[in-house]
Amino acid sequence: MPQQQPEQQAPPVQRLRVRYAKRGRLRFTSHRDFSRAFERAVFRARVPMAYSSGFNPHPRISYAGAAPTGSASEAEYLELALAEVVVPTDVHAMLDEALPPGLDVIEVVESPGGSLADLLEASRWRIEIDADRESVMDAVERFLAADEAPVERMTKKGMREFDARGAVVALVVLPGDEAGSRTALEVVLRHGTPAVRPDDVLRGLETVAGLGAGEAPLMTRLAQGPLLGGDEVGDPLAPRA
Burial class for 91, CB neighbours closer than 10 Å (0-12, 13-18, 19+): buried
Residue by residue, DSSP assigns 75-116 as: EEEEEEEESS---HHHHHHHHHHHSPTTEEEEEEEE--SS-H
Q: What pLDDT is attached to residue 211?
A: 92
pLDDT tens per residue, range 78-103: 999 999 999 999 999 999 999 999 99
Return the beta strands (E) in the chain as ranges: 14-22, 61-64, 72-82, 103-110, 122-129, 150-155, 158-163, 168-173, 183-190, 218-225
| Domains within the chain, CATH numbers bracketed | 14-118 (3.30.70.580), 121-225 (3.30.70)
Q: What is the mean pLDDT of the chain?
A: 91
What tens digit of pLDDT does each residue of 167-203 get? 999 999 998 755 457 899 999 999 998 899 999 999 9
CA 50, 29, 39: angle at the middle one, nearest 5? 15
pLDDT of res. 241: 64
Residue 34 has pLDDT above 60, yes or no: yes
